[in-house]
Structure 1
Amino acid sequence: ETNYFSDFICDYLDESPELESLYHRFPTIENFKLQIEDKSKNYNHQFRNVLVNALMKGYGDLRLSSPTLTNIDLIKNENTFTVTTGHQLNLFTGPLYFLYKIISTINLTKQLKEAYPEYNFVPVYWMASEDHDFEEINYFNFKGKKIQWNSSQTGAVGHFNTKGLEDVFEVIAAEFGAGNNAEQLKIWFEKAYLKHDNLADATRYLANELFGKYGLVILDADDKDLKRLFVPQMISELLEQTAFTNVSETNTKLEELGLKVQVNPREINLFYIKDGLRERIVEVDGKYSVLESDIEWNKDDLLKHLEEFPERFSPNVIMRPLYQEVILPNLCYIGGGGELIYWLQLKSNFESQGITFPILLLRNSVLIKTKKQAEKLDKLNISDKDLFLDRNSFINKKVRKISNIDIDFSEQIKHLEQQFDNLHQLAEQTDKSFLGAVKAQEVKQTKGLKHLEKRLLKAQKRKLADEIERCTDLQEQLFPNESLQERNTNFSEFYLEYGDDLISVLMKHLEPLNGQFTIITI
């Protein structure tokens, strides 16, 4: 109903039969019991200690909450499973949906513990530290302004040095202003980005500050010991190009269904990362090389290098989900619409590797209104559904609602169509050569009526300009740049006003298995 989600995702939520082959189980509380049984049999429980050691090493000297420490320790047990979300290392968390992903994940683990008390469930945030698209993550929006970090560094963004963020801190300190909540935001930014050497450590610090007390476990899988666990799958990818074959077949099926494919596989879906380099590995006539470099191997040398330096091999968007499910005792992945679509392309590759495909859950979507905004909407008689209309439809609906003149010509157009039906029949019975002329006249008169309706609406808009402006201003506040608030606005705008209450209110209201768009008034 919101018109902000693709047909593909809506079909998935409706459990459309044509998509059934693309996922393992639909996200219902009952299906998690079966998923637990599957993952128990299919997961290499010896990986648990390696995972725990990597987590603790990654946290370094960060202060961990008691719930997070407990959750990390629980991962050692065979009756503990994870629920995971992943996100890029956006500057100061980026858009609001960073929060919604993590809160959906935390709340689902609580729900699962209530349903299955004999098991433990740990919420995991997988940091996309090996991504390379810096332009996507180097800014955040604050009250209509773009706060941006410019850097010429290349390679995996998690390795990026935080040098240069002092300038950004000066800008945000001025923007946030004074007050307790503003000071807290400044402390978080300063400690995250000015006291840590790289973007991965900075992001881990910030996510831990925001969600550590809720037991969130933060994983940077750009780790030698964890990559070593994934070596068998990387060998298969390098030598047999398994993902390319399987995902290409799935993509063909999707295209036949008229569904848009999100990602296309390469012959080899691994990058090579080292010293600012992050480039694709390619194979030509038995020789393996790294693009944009002079690095190359024969097959034996490549396998030897992989065994010696697994941390230099990095999965791309096709292989990253497989890596995640190999190293984690994971039951469910929570993501946005775009993410879920590419996950739905990957099941056949999981099956070929003998890895259990996780349950896929669309993250919660939220619109936050202030009480003041809610009161204004009420006074202007604007419903929640109205807010989701595109700007033009929103204005036209409002003009018709508040106008004392009924500017809706649908009845007149319907009447005109009936008149021309009679004329068509008359021409049919007398002289068929007149049919074209009758049709041309019908098109002309219908077009004339619609044009007149538009002109009258325009005149009414001018007459009612003040009220329409108040309405559109409100819609623009809640849907900045005519897009969803959660895809634009940074959490800091609301934190300035509400402080810690922001996250506690979201925790209270977000129901991960609900499948509805949540509207919250704070």
Structure 2
Amino acid sequence: MPSSIDTAARRVSPASLGAFPDLFIDYCTDFDAVADFYPGDWQSRTARRTAAESAAQRPADRDVLAETLLAQNERWGLDASTRSHIEALRDPASIAIVTGQQVGLFTGPLYTIYKTLTTLQLVEEWADQTGRPVVPVFWVEGEDHDFEEIAAAHVLHRNEVVPLSYAPDVEDNPGAVGRLALTDGIHDVVDQLDEALPPSDFKPAVMEHVRAAYRPGTRLEDAFAQLMRSFFADDGLVFINPDDARLKALSRPLFRREIESPQASAAQVGAASRALRDRGYHAQVTARPTNLFWLGDDSRRALDWEEHTFRLRGTDRTFSQSELLDHLDETPERFSPNVVLRPLMQDHLLPTAAYVAGPGEVSYFAQYGGVYEWAGLDMPLIHPRASVSLVEGKVQTVLDKYDLTVADFQTNLDPLFQNVVVDTMEVDVDALFSEALPQLHQTLNALKPEVEAVDRTLGASTEAARSAIMDEMESLKQKVVRAEKRQQDEVRAQLRKAHVNLRPAGTLQERMINVLYYLNKYSPALLNDLRHALQTDTSAHQVVEV
């Protein structure tokens, strides 16, 4: 099948999009400016070899890790290439390129896919540069308790954004959302997706994968992993679900350190946050003692440190330090890391040499250097994921017509519309009539004495003629204005179409639109095409015509 991508990706400055924080922009384009917040230059071969050597020495128990991953991936469709990669993790020389994401409905926004594509691209690159076995790993984050954050997906239909929401009766804090079993209500959401996606040669296969994954009784995290697996079959992608007693048991040393020194990690994050603000950057996360949650059967609650006691947030339940350590020994699966400890758990378990991160993650890793030192871990290199805009032919036609680029489309369409209208309108109506009317008055003013010299009674007729001429001129002006408005309305409609596709709801396309819209329209082979079209130098936003 021919590629749906006809040209190589074009590169756009991330700063020009008005969508990324300064810290992320400098990380991508001027690393030296932020180097002291990170372990090394993500593009340096020397830094990569150093990170690989450190990562290879890290995992607590490679055999337990491998056995757990085999069991987990068996649930989602374990193929030969994934099995081979899992077995490779037993090799003490092997390393991992890791990414991850929350278990969003139908895999969530496009950035989940771009994270995965970047990870798969880097495997071969790192293998060549380090001479080591390299394994791609996807962290399936299902322990979060914010259900609304993962329960919606968005596709395009006739240049409108169509929201798809899965809304069963769920408590405000249902515990680990990944554990929730899909209800019969998922049928309605899948049917809405089916209705929103137009008929195509690829739709039957696409919908078959969706229906196979999202079935009543299936846990959200399993549905997510199964659908992701179908997108990347035979690529050897290894999925890991941290909500596993075996993995939590391996993580005891990290959790114990946090319980025994409940203010230490937060202090490290706080110091880095102040340093970032002093340099004019933002602090992405705010750490609180402690950075652990208690994972119950029906809720996930933060463990707050209060005067030598741990309190379960929102309840009266408390634990002494010794009680909490006893629980850690007996039921480690009851503990869940927050945004600070999650990457440390990941890198305690895995030989992570590089983590493929979105802009927010790149920002919060700048706060974590001291926490990694406190935990006795080396932070992996942080590689920005590919940031991408997919430009369909219908959108490219609009860009070409008005000589625009993707970067011209910002959060608000109005300024661009005004600029385009000024450039495209051939007539400035107000200026045209403002110039003509004084000339007419001047002519009539000069004519009136001559007329009155012939017959004084004709002065009134001259004024009547003036009034009639002004009325006709105003009528003509309104006709021109209506014609101009019709032209403006056409311009606005075309620009709005492009804006909805490129900046839906004002945000970047990659942050809202789901990949299924594009797979249905252009074939599931689009993912492989993108893998070859996108560059691993992700310092720029990449624009791909499809």
Q: TM-score scaled to structure 2, two decimals? A: 0.81
1:300-340 deviations in whole A, cap 9, x for unaligned?
A: 22211111100110000011011111111001111111111
- What amino acid is the match of 1:39? A
SS in structure 2 of the partner of residue 56 of structure 1: helix
Q: Report the counterpart of residue 515 of structure 2 in structure 1.
A: 491
* Cα distance change, pair 103–172 in 1 and its aligned pair in 2 (3 A): same
d(CA) in 1 for partners of 2:133 and 2:323? 43
Per-residue deviation, 1:172: 2.3
CA–CA distance in 2 between the matches of 1:9 and 1:469? 34
Partner secondary structure for residue 27 of structure 1:
coil
Q: C-alpha distance in 2, partners of 1:88/1:458?
A: 51
The one-letter code of the counterpart of 1:9 is F
CA gap of 1:113–1:168, structure 2 versus 1, over 3 A, is same
Distance in 1 (CA, whole Å) between partners of 2:141 and 2:327 is 24
Is 1:9 the equivalent of 2:30? no
CA distance in structure 2 between the partners assigned to 1:339 and 1:461 by the alignment? 45
Q: 1:35 aligns with which of 51, 68, 72?
A: 51
Work out the percentage of aligned pairs sharing the same amino acid: 27
Q: Does residue 24 in structure 1 map to residue 39 in structure 2? A: yes
* 1:159 paired residue among 173, 179, 187: 179
Matched, 1:145 2:194: no
In 2, the alpha carbon distance for the partners of 1:353 and 1:100 equals: 30
In structure 1, distance between residues paired with 2:494 and 2:187: 39
The higher relative CO (CA closer than 8 Å, separation ≥ 6) is in 2
Is the CA contact (8 Å cut-off) linking 2:387 and 2:538 kept in structure 1? no
What is the aligned counterpart of 1:76 among 84, 90, 97? 90
Q: What's the counterpart of residue 456 of structure 2?
A: none
Residue in 2 that maps onto 1:291? 313
Q: Would the aligned equivalents of 1:88 and 1:137 in 2 still touch at CA under 8 Å? A: yes
CA deviations on 1:383-422 (whole Å, 9 max, x unpaired) are 3443458423322331233234699xxxxxxxxxxxxxxx
* 1:266 paired to 2:288: yes
Structure 1 contact 399–461 (Cα < 8 Å) conserved: no
The aligned residue for residue 471 of structure 1 is: 495
- What amino acid is aligned across from residue 33 of structure 1 in structure 2? R
1:463 positional shift: 5.6
For the 8 Å contact 2:385–2:538, the answer to whether it is kept is no
Aligned match of 1:97: 111
Which entry has the higher C-alpha Rg, 1 or 2? 2
Matched, 1:521 2:545: yes
| C-alpha deviation, 1:377, in angstroms | 2.8
Give 1:82-481 correspondences, 5 Å limit.
82-116=96-130, 118-143=131-156, 144-151=161-168, 152-153=170-171, 154-163=174-183, 164-176=185-197, 178-194=199-215, 197-241=218-262, 242-293=264-315, 295-388=317-410, 390-404=412-426, 464-481=488-505
**Cα drift, residue 136 of structure 1:** 1.0
Q: Give me the whole-angstrom Cα distance separating, in 1, the residues matched to 2:543 and 2:134.
A: 27
Q: How far has the Cα of 1:220 moved from its partner?
A: 0.3
Instruction: Report the aligned-residue RMSD.
Output: 2.4
User: What is the deviation of 1:246?
Assistant: 0.9
Structure 1 residue aligned with 2:449: none
1:245–1:179 Cα change, 3 Å: same
Unpaired runs of 5+ in structure 1? 408-456
Q: Provide the rounded CA distance (Å) in 2 between the counterparts of 1:461 and 1:111.
A: 54
Q: Does 1:67 align with 2:87?
A: no
Distance 2:506 2:220 in 1: 31
Describe the SS at the equivalent of 1:361.
strand
Q: Give yes or no for contact 2:181–2:216 (8 Å, CA) kept in 1.
A: no
Distance 2:78 2:415 in 1: 50
SS of equivalent to 1:214: coil
Letter in 1 for 2:544: I
Q: Give the drift of 1:180.
A: 4.3
User: Amino acid of the residue matched to residue 22 of structure 2?
Assistant: D
Rounded Cα–Cα distance in structure 1 between residues aligned with 2:200 and 2:29: 46
In structure 2, the CA distance between the partners of 1:25 and 1:392, relative to structure 1 (3 Å rule), is same
Q: Secondary structure at the match of 1:50?
A: helix
Following superposition, the deviation at residue 156 of structure 1 comes to 0.9
Displacement, 1:480? 1.6
Using the TM superposition, give the Cα deviation of residue 473 of structure 1 relative to its aligned residue in structure 2, in angstroms.
Answer: 2.4
Given the superposition, is the C-alpha separation of residues 123 and 406 from structure 1 closer, same or farther in structure 2, using an over 3 Å criterion? Answer: farther
**2: CA distance between counterparts of 1:461 and 1:239?**
70
- 1:76 offset after TM fit, Å? 0.7
Find the counterpart in structure 1 of residue 475 from structure 2. none
Deviations 1:366-386 (A, max 9, x none): 111223432343234333443
SS at match of 2:113: helix
Pick closer, same or farther for the CA change 1:289–1:468 going to 2, 3 Å: closer
Shift of 1:294: 5.2
What are the ranges of 5 or more consecutive residues in structure 2 without an aligned counterpart? 1-15, 430-480
3-state secondary structure, aligned to 2:34: helix
| Equivalent residue letter for 1:130 | E
1:145-200 residue CA offsets vs partner (Å, 9 max, x unmatched): 11101131411111111113123223223333544422223222222121652111
